[in-house]
Amino acid sequence: MSAPVPTSNGASHPVEHAPEALDEGIAGYTSVEALLEDNLPQDKLEAEAVEYGGFDVQSYAFTARREQLREPRVVRLGLIQHGIQVSTSKPYAVQREAIFTRVEELVRMAGQAGVNVLCLQEAWPMPFAFCTREREWCEFAEDAVTGPSTALLSSLAVQYRMVIISPILERDSAHADVIWNTAVVIGHNGNVIGKHRKNHIPRIPPFDESHYYMEGDTGHPVFQTVYGRVAVNICYGRHHPLNWLAFGLNGAEVVFNPSATIGALSEPMWGVEARNAAIANSYFVAAINRVGTELYPHAFTTGVQGQGPRQDMGPFYGSSYVAAPDASRTPGLSRDREGLLVVDADLNLCQQARGGLGVRDRWGFQMTARYPLYAQLLGDFIKPGYKPQVVVDPTLDSSASRKAADCEKGR
């Protein structure tokens, strides 16, 4: 399963793991930032990116401790970030064909690199034009099983024995042609294993996706594939810790987060959320974002305060990366160039971080999780008449204590 990944120097780059020893300082540096500045200059990171046919290929490897009773379970993950290929004013068939051609090139590169499980970005076969609120873009919606993107990727999945996660705009013809934001999971035999529909839909400017589709109705499925158990948390779902938790409770070992997001809104959170989810849930997270600025044919109002009508949302910032359960992560792909990230992940690391029953099982987050406590709280919270558990400082002046008491009574 672990053929060498083609890189400039023929080797994949090992990822630094969290230190195991007691704190021995940080090599004389006063902060992590100072250490990084001196030791990870930008030109070194860029030197690791190899360019093939106008896109970057980067590769890394997460290792786990060698166990006595289990063999390593190394799975090669692939993440693809790309842009639209031609003007959004061109006929839809031309736009889609151009994206298909480019993505096929990238998928073939992943196949040749020996990728086992590959994931594309959110709504990959189309411009992310939901911000326009124009109905015409619905034409890109397609059937999850018989649609053109599944046909293309199924044939590539068989050829490279690859599991491919394909996030698309789905039209459900069996249910009155309703549209969903869906990830189709295609098995290594080219079969559709199943699909997951986006659970949390942004109702925020400038995304406004709720004009097109509702919150998903597929729960938190985990797909048992030949390479391991995978799940998909689509874009805005990454802001919801319980969404991440649910995939973990169902046994996910790798959760993919195909996204379409812009710098002005989310870039400060990008490096934190997927990484935190990987730590808290003891699984790998692969976060993928598209690149480039998409100019739509007609100006639209974004709802962003102070912003007049415009034809774009600002650039999607790429930066796709993988985070591991031991708090390590890969560097990200470029902010503005298309790319393929290839990452070897030993899935034994999930259990090594999880558990809590032996010296190898390091953190025991699941064992110490107190699920009944939270189940009780959530069960109470969703009922009308819920009283927040607030204890008022009796020394507060009367107006403050009246306010707190009102709040407690739900007034």
Q: Which of 85, 132, 233, 261 binds ligand URP (CB under 6 A)?
A: 261
We find the least distance from the C-beta atom of residue 29 to ligand URP, in angstroms, to be 32
Question: In which element (H, E) is residue 274 found?
Answer: helix 263-281
Give the Cα separation of 52 and 83 in Å (integer): 16
235 torsion bin: left (phi>0), alpha (psi -120 to 50), beta (else) = left
Q: Does 235 bind ligand URP (CB under 6 A)?
A: yes
**Total residues at the site for ligand URP (CB under 6 A)?**
10
Give the Cα separation of 128 and 316 in Å (integer): 10
Q: Tell whether omega for the bond before 394 is within 30 degrees of 0, i.e. cis.
A: no
**All residues at 6 or more sequence positions from 242 whose CB lies less than 8 Å from its CB, including other chains:** none
Instruction: Name the active-site residue from 198, 253, 273, 350.
Output: 198
We find the least distance from the C-beta atom of residue 406 to ligand URP, in angstroms, to be 34
We find the least distance from the C-beta atom of residue 261 to ligand URP, in angstroms, to be 3
Residue closer to ligand URP (CB basis): 165 or 235: 235
Residue closer to ligand URP (CB basis): 60 or 317: 317
Residue closer to ligand URP (CB basis): 208 or 344: 208
Alpha carbon distances (Å) from 66 to 62, 120, 369: 12, 31, 27
We find the least distance from the C-beta atom of residue 100 to ligand URP, in angstroms, to be 21
Active-site residue, 198 included: yes
Q: Does 124 bind ligand URP (CB under 6 A)?
A: no
We find the least distance from the C-beta atom of residue 399 to ligand URP, in angstroms, to be 39
Q: Does 265 bind ligand URP (CB under 6 A)?
A: yes
Residue closer to ligand URP (CB basis): 202 or 325: 202
We find the least distance from the C-beta atom of residue 202 to ligand URP, in angstroms, to be 4
Instruction: Name the active-site residue from 209, 235, 253, 350.
Output: 235
Q: Does 5 bind ligand URP (CB under 6 A)?
A: no
Residue closer to ligand URP (CB basis): 149 or 257: 257
Query: In the structure encoding, which two tokens stand for residue 166, read together?
Result: 């394909």
Q: Does 266 bind ligand URP (CB under 6 A)?
A: yes
Residue range at the interface with ligand URP (CB under 6 A); choices 253-261, 290-298, 329-337, 364-372 = 253-261
Closest CA to 102 of 115, 86, 87: 86
Any alpha helices (H) in 91-142, and if so which ranges?
A: 92-112
Active-site residue, 267 included: no
Instruction: Name the active-site residue from 122, 170, 294, 338.
Output: 122
Q: Does 170 bind ligand URP (CB under 6 A)?
A: no
Give the Cα separation of 183 and 328 in Å (integer): 26
We find the least distance from the C-beta atom of residue 206 to ligand URP, in angstroms, to be 9
Question: In which element (H, E) is residue 113 found?
Answer: none
Residue closer to ligand URP (CB basis): 145 or 265: 265
**All residues at 6 or more sequence positions from 159 whose CB lies less than 8 Å from its CB, including other chains:** 111
Residue closer to ligand URP (CB basis): 76 or 195: 195
Instruction: Count the neighbouring beta carbons within 10 Å of the beta carbon of residue 170.
Output: 26
Task: Please calculate the CA angle 123-129-135 and round it to the nearest 5 degrees.
Answer: 105
Tell me which residue has tokens 């995939």. 247
Q: Which of 56, 122, 208, 326 binds ligand URP (CB under 6 A)?
A: 122
Q: Which residues on adjacent β-strands are paired with residue 329?
A: 323
Instruction: Scan residues 196-215 and list those touching ligand URP (CB under 6 A).
Output: 202, 207
Instruction: Scan residues 343-362 and list those touching ligand URP (CB under 6 A).
Output: none
- Strands 55-62, 284-289: pairing kind: unpaired
Query: In the structure encoding, which two tokens stand for residue 63, read together?
Result: 């290792």
Residues 23, 337 contacting (CB under 8 angstroms): no
- Rounded to the nearest 10 degrees, the angle between the axes of helix 148-160 and helix 92-112 is 10
We find the least distance from the C-beta atom of residue 105 to ligand URP, in angstroms, to be 24
Active-site residue, 403 included: no
Measured distance between the N- and C-terminal CA atoms of the chain, rounded to whole angstroms: 61
Q: Does 260 bind ligand URP (CB under 6 A)?
A: yes
Q: Give the active site residues.
A: 122, 198, 235
The residues of the shown chain that bind ligand URP, judged by CB under 6 A, are 122, 202, 207, 235-236, 259-261, 265-266
